[in-house]
Amino acid sequence: MSTQEPQRIAKLLARAGIASRREIERMIDDRRIALNGVDLETPATILTTLEGITVDGKPVQPAKASRLFRFYKPNGVLTTEHDPKGRRTIYDVLPKGLPRLMPIGRLDFNTEGLLLLTNDGELKRQMELPATGVPRTYRARTYG
């Protein structure tokens, strides 16, 4: 299955939900990603398909269709995947069995409200870039 348009390996793998582009670049440095059995040496590898790509020896499945999820982030939860201080993150409170999801934007630790999540790194990027002009509305309530 070809994407038709040649793209960097990190972008293709991020789109397939393997990891973020930066994480994929580290995985390439660690020789965890191979093409037809040969470890990749550079994240600059250009491909049109994920055919023949393995991560940790396991074949990579093609990217799934883009999906957008809405999530009500509660107060006292971080919008991050891992917290070095061990605080709860959105991934601790999301239902189990969901695909790998990335938050679009973020809400602060002591903030609650709607948070959009997606399985598509490119969609996330497009919605976060100020140049795309996606409007954002915030409503705040203060006490005291």
Instruction: Check if 29 is active-site.
Output: no
29, 83, 108, 120: which is the annotated catalytic residue? 108
Q: Which two structure tokens, joined as six digits, stand for 90? A: 């959105």
Any idea what DSSP says for residue 121?
Answer: H
Residue 22 three-state SS: helix
| Dist. CA 41–CA 122, nearest whole Å | 24
Q: What type of residue sits at position 40?
A: L
State the DSSP string of 69-85.
EEEEEPTT-BSSS--TT
Two tokens, residue 91: 């991934």
Point out the residues that are catalytic: 108
